[in-house]
Amino acid sequence: MDSKLSQPKHFESDELSQMPEQRKGKNGDEQIVAEIMRRRFSPSLITTQAWEGFHFVGQEIKITEATDSYGAVVWPSALVLCHFLEMNVNSYNMVDKNVIEIGAGTGLVSIVASFLGAHVTATDLPEVLGNLQYNICRNTKMRCKHQPQVKELFWGVDLEKKFPRSLCHFHYILAADVVYHHPYLDELLLTFDHLCKEDTVIIWAMRFRLEKENQFVDRFQKLFDLEAISDFPSLNITLFKAKRRHRGKWSPVTAS
């Protein structure tokens, strides 16, 4: 990681700071990671349709996964981000806020943000939207203050047409595990840039894997003020908060 980046704090939540040293484990995060992973449960009965269960913000969430794409399963970064949102409602209040999730996959993060009171737009590639819409509908109908929307967003494509800057004002952009060995890292950067207004806060759970993808963080930092707010070494996941650096009159960044 770039040395300019502020050192990750070990968890903001009270839960960990109150934990005795010897229970934190060798990476310092085993207890909290176990607590996060316990939020996942399996159905006790065999059902005709497979689903996985999650407990967040006092709600039972049923997620149907598929096997044919990266967006078809719930990745650990999504659990980390959901847990963070649940534990930090005072610092990151979602009530009535406009929130967009990019690379929403199965929709768990968007569902949790909706339970927390946000106006959510969950986005992903066209082939993922059917399952995403199904999970969102199944879990949020009549259970949320604002019914979340599902929308196609292929990073870097038709951004101004689909999300005009004059009309879209997102308070938060949520992203879990969107950086890995795909060829759209430039487009991902363009997308963050396009969706960000001056007061937009990005909350991004990044799983560190290969050096090439990890260099994305350095490129990202040239445009955004980036702060590591939590670190989960056992999972190679860091949770970042970012805001667009001041840029005067807006013009889109160009892909490198």
Minimum CB separation from ligand SAM for residue 246, in Å? 27
Of residues 204-243, those binding ligand SAM (CB under 6 A) = none
Is residue 29 a contact residue for ligand SAM (CB under 6 A)? Answer: no
β-bridge mates for residue 228, sequence order: 240
Rounded CA separation 42/37 (Å): 12
Rounded CA separation 201/99 (Å): 10
Nearer to ligand SAM among residue 187 and residue 213 (C-beta): 187
Is residue 100 a contact residue for ligand SAM (CB under 6 A)? Answer: no
Q: From residue 26, give the alpha-carbon distance in Å to each of 21, 33, 176, 233, 234.
A: 10, 12, 25, 10, 9
Which of 74, 87, 111, 239 is in the footprint of ligand SAM by CB under 6 A? 74
Nearer to ligand SAM among residue 1 and residue 66 (C-beta): 66
Rounded CA separation 253/256 (Å): 9
Is residue 77 a contact residue for ligand SAM (CB under 6 A)? Answer: yes
Which of 51, 134, 184, 208 is in the footprint of ligand SAM by CB under 6 A? 184
Q: Is 135 helix (H, G, I), strand (E, B) or coil?
A: helix
Is residue 176 a contact residue for ligand SAM (CB under 6 A)? Answer: yes
* Ramachandran area for residue 115 (φ above 0: left; ψ -120 to 50: alpha; else beta): alpha
Strands 149-152 and 119-124: parallel
Minimum CB separation from ligand SAM for residue 124, in Å? 5
Minimum CB separation from ligand SAM for residue 235, in Å? 12
Find the part of the chain contacting ligand SAM (CB under 6 A) among 34-42, 51-59, 148-156, 240-248: 148-156
Rounded CA separation 139/112 (Å): 10
Which of 29, 36, 61, 71 is in the footprint of ligand SAM by CB under 6 A? 71
Question: Hey, what's the torsion of the CAs at 177, 180, 182, 186, to 10 degrees?
Answer: 80
Nearer to ligand SAM among residue 117 and residue 156 (C-beta): 156
Give the interface with ligand SAM as residue ranges (CB under 6 A).
69-71, 74-75, 77-78, 103-106, 124-125, 128, 153-155, 176-178, 180, 182, 184, 187
